[in-house]
Amino acid sequence: MRVLFIVALLILSLEARNYTYLIDEYDKVIDLEAKIISKIAKDIVKDKKVKLYIPHLKRLDEKVYSSKVDLVHNCEEANFIFIKYKVNLKKCEGEKNKIFFTNNYKKLLKNRKFLGAFFWSKSRPNIVLIKKRLNKKRIKLPKEYNQFIEDYDEK
């Protein structure tokens, strides 16, 4: 009986390799982040098609994000730029009609180029948008975003 049980267990474990969820990488955090960023981008860009650029995009990020929005490979083609990893922004310096988002609250406050931030704090997603920067770009968002808009005094 033991031999039969061991053989059955061995066969089942070999068959389990056929299931893709055991092989493919998947990260719930990246999926949630992609959903949130794509929704924000669609609500800001409105009538235009979202063309998202994320510098130094990782393979898993690209797979998840590409299922939500159109990804482009440089900031010239993009209308929404999400700075997720450390990057030199000088390549996109002259881009005035682009929307810049970051995943770092301190970067948001330091650099006026960023309209808002999406970041994780205490294992929770946080969204922050700067009111003056939204007004400057004449961006009107649905009321559901009011709780995320801060009246930050820039000096």
Q: What per-residue confidence (pLDDT) applies to 16?
A: 60
- Domain hosting 126: range is 26-150
Which pLDDT value is given to residue 25? 53
Say whether pLDDT at 3 is over 80. no
| Assigned domain for 17 exists | no
At residue 18, the pLDDT reads 54
Residue 30 lies in a domain: yes
pTM of the predicted structure, to 2 decimals: 0.77
In a domain, 6, yes or no: no
Report pLDDT digits (tens) over 103-140. 999 999 998 999 999 998 888 899 999 999 999 999 99
Residue 33 in domain: yes
Does the residue 62 lie in any domain? Answer: yes
Residues 72-99 pLDDT 10s: 988 888 899 998 877 766 667 666 788 9
Classify residue 14: in a domain, yes or no: no
Number of domains in the chain: 1
Residue 148 has pLDDT above 50, yes or no: yes
Residue 66 lies in a domain: yes
Tell me, what's the pLDDT at 60? 84
Rounded CA gap, 121 and 69, in Å? 25
- pLDDT tens digits along 16-58: 655 544 445 567 888 899 999 999 999 999 878 999 998 888 8
Residues 26 and 117: their CA atoms lie apart, in Å, by 24
Sheet of 51-53, strand order: 70-71, 51-53, 80-83, 99-102, 114-121, 124-130, 149-150
pLDDT at 56: 85
Could you give the CA distance from residue 50 to residue 153 in angstroms, rounded to a whole number?
Answer: 29
Q: Let me know if residue 105 belongs to a domain.
A: yes
CATH, residue 85: 3.40.50.2300
